[in-house]
């Protein structure tokens, strides 16, 4: 069966661990293309491919986190094939990573060894800022504050329109996501990453993740803004940190 949700290399790594990697809003599986070479053969990188981009560009973007997770989980079960696995998600990907842990636990009675949540938090409904409702110009100006816009894209209207459409749909996924207060705890350790200059994610909000796990919470701070994982030195340190925690 063709695997649309998780990108599997034609040269699969005979690894001890599998790492499901979920991208941030507006991006795709290609942000993880360097990770396999860096992380080594003990861990197979399995990046998630979301609808509406890359090889799934003809599909509609999805704004329901639970339905996205259903798609990922359905194919993840076959791919892990009895191996230990972990989940990594950055920003929007962190929310999807958490919900994936929750649904694997509830519906399949399995859990990852650890969940790595990077530059992400879950807002209560009364704290949400609905950026997707802004007009395109205001929306882009807001994203510039986070360091998440490549000005080169803005020079080409045909790319700009597609990019903003994907981004707004991804933000709707975040804005639509809610979780019952009595059903939020996962039986998975959470390891959190944050950037020193992140204008979107603050330390006090990051620490809220300790309330979502009963198996331990730790964090690490990296130099950089909300997209600190794009820095090659940070990426290498993240891969090293992931290996460290998987081998514990």
Q: Does residue 91 come out as left (phi exceeding 0), alpha (psi in the -120 to 50 range) or beta?
A: left
Tens-place pLDDT, residues 14-50: 899 999 999 999 999 999 999 999 999 999 999 999 9
Tens-place pLDDT, residues 140-150: 888 877 766 66
Query: Greater confidence, 247 or 157?
Result: 247
Instruction: For residue 54, tell me if it sits in a domain.
Output: yes
54 — pLDDT class (breaks 50, 70, 90): very high
Instruction: For residue 194, tell me if it sits in a domain.
Output: yes
Tens-place pLDDT, residues 211-240: 999 999 999 999 999 999 999 999 999 999
Q: How many domains does the chain have?
A: 1
> Which domain range does residue 57 map to?
17-123+180-246
Instruction: For residue 160, tell me if it sits in a domain.
Output: no
Instruction: For residue 186, tell me if it sits in a domain.
Output: yes
180 — pLDDT class (breaks 50, 70, 90): confident
Provide, rounded to the nearest whole percent, the portion of the chain with pLDDT above 70. Answer: 95
Instruction: For residue 213, tell me if it sits in a domain.
Output: yes
Q: How far apart are CA 158 and CA 138, in angstroms?
A: 19
Q: At 102, which CATH number?
A: 3.40.50.1820
60 — pLDDT class (breaks 50, 70, 90): very high
Instruction: For residue 211, tell me if it sits in a domain.
Output: yes
Cβ neighbors of 190 (< 8 A, separation 6 or more) are 114, 115, 117, 209, 210, 212, 213, 216, 217, 218
Q: With 60 as the cut, is the pLDDT of residue 1 above it?
A: no
Q: Does residue 142 come out as left (phi exceeding 0), alpha (psi in the -120 to 50 range) or beta?
A: alpha
First-to-final CA distance of the chain = 34
Average per-residue pLDDT in the chain? Answer: 91
pLDDT at site 174: 94
Instruction: For residue 175, tell me if it sits in a domain.
Output: no
Instruction: For residue 214, tell me if it sits in a domain.
Output: yes
Q: Is the pTM of this model over 0.85?
A: yes
Q: How far apart are CA 210 and CA 73, in angstroms?
A: 24
């Amino acid at each position: 069966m063709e695997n649309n949700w998780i990108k599997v290399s034609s040269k699969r790594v005979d690894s001890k661990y599998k790492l499901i990697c979920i991208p941030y809003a507006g991006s795709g599986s290609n942000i993880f293309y360097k990770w396999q070479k860096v992380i080594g053969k003990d861990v197979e990188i399995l990046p998630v491919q979301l609808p509406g981009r890359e090889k799934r560009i003809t599909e509609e973007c999805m704004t329901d986190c639970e339905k996205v997770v259903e798609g990922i989980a359905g194919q993840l079960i076959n791919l892990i094939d009895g191996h230990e696995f972990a989940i990594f998600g950055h920003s929007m990907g962190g929310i999807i990573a958490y919900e994936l842990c929750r649904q694997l636990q509830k519906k399949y009675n399995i859990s990852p060894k650890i969940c790595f949540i990077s530059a992400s938090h879950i807002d209560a409904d009364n704290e949400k800022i609905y950026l997707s409702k802004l007009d395109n110009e205001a929306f882009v100006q807001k994203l510039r504050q986070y360091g998440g816009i490549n000005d080169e894209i803005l020079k080409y209207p045909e790319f700009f329109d597609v990019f903003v459409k994907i981004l707004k749909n991804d933000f709707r996924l975040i804005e639509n996501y809610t979780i019952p207060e009595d059903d939020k705890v996962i039986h998975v350790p959470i390891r959190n990453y944050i950037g020193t200059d992140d204008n979107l994610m603050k330390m006090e909000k990051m620490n809220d993740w300790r309330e979502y796990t009963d198996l331990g919470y730790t964090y690490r701070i990296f130099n950089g803004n909300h997209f600190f994982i794009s820095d090659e030195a940070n990426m290498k340190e993240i891969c090293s940190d992931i290996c460290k925690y998987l081998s514990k």
